[in-house]
A and B are shown apart, each in its own frame.
Chain A
């Protein structure tokens, strides 16, 4: 059972002759919300500590308080990294042959969609809202000829640059 990928940018079931050009995932702002929530939740017991540390009974219960606090931090830490894992494994890979979308829905629950570059008929970019405009993220829609379906990759950073890369690769592939 090999758990390490052959090279730093390789992905599962990648043929040897295929070259990864771009790996992207949702804008980092999507990861910041759970991180800041966890940070806020980690501080709540600490604020409780500040309010009770001068009480006469606190030294008797301090060890229990800190052990429960570290256990609470361990749970938060694990939840944060579950979100980090989901964030990093939901990605879009552009190779010199195809565009692949990996969707990780949980532990051992994974879906992959892909479209050959030569089958792409149309690429469009949608940037909606002031936050998306200033942080430069948006949706990319790929219209595929073969399957007659639309691939929508949401909240990708620098969508215009990604679109340009895919267009150039498509021209080379044709």
Chain B
């Protein structure tokens, strides 16, 4: 059976990548002064950190334990 979720994850990740690129591009290319450039850097590192935290915590999810608790307790 075709697993739909990796494809969905890839599509969402690509859309988010485009969104992040657009924010950073606009701030660096069209921002006047140094503040927009610094904010682009803050956005990049913040996004990277939150995404890493999401992936790390998602990998720790024990689906089997949750299923057992929900359906067999």
Contacts and interface: CB of A to CB of B under 8 A. Distances in A.
Contacts, number: 87
Contacts of B32: 5, 9-11, 20, 23, 91, 93
A66 interface: yes
Interface string A2-21: 01110011111000000010
Majority DSSP secondary structure for residues of B touching A: helix
A89 B57 contact: no
Contacts of B39: 81, 84, 88
Contact of B23 (A12, A20, A78): A78
B62 A88 contact: no
Nearest to A86: B26
Given A91-B32, A107-B26, A78 B20 contact: yes
Contact of B53 (A12, A57, A70): A70
Given A70-B53, A74-B47, A88-B31, 16 more contacts: A3-B28, A4-B29, A10-B32, A61-B66, A64-B61, A64-B66, A70-B57, A71-B54, A74-B54, A77-B46, A77-B47, A82-B23, A85-B26, A88-B27, A89-B27, A107-B22
Q: Which 6 A-B pairs have the closest CB atoms?
A: A67-B57, A70-B54, A67-B58, A74-B50, A63-B60, A63-B61
26 contacts: A3-B25, A3-B29, A4-B28, A4-B29, A5-B32, A8-B33, A11-B32, A23-B32, A64-B61, A66-B57, A67-B54, A73-B50, A74-B47, A74-B50, A77-B47, A78-B23, A84-B43, A85-B23, A85-B26, A88-B31, A88-B36, A89-B26, A89-B36, A93-B32, A102-B30, A107-B26
Interface of A: 3-5, 8-12, 20, 23, 57, 60-61, 63-64, 66-67, 70-71, 73-74, 77-78, 81-82, 84-85, 88-89, 91, 93, 102, 104, 107-108, 110
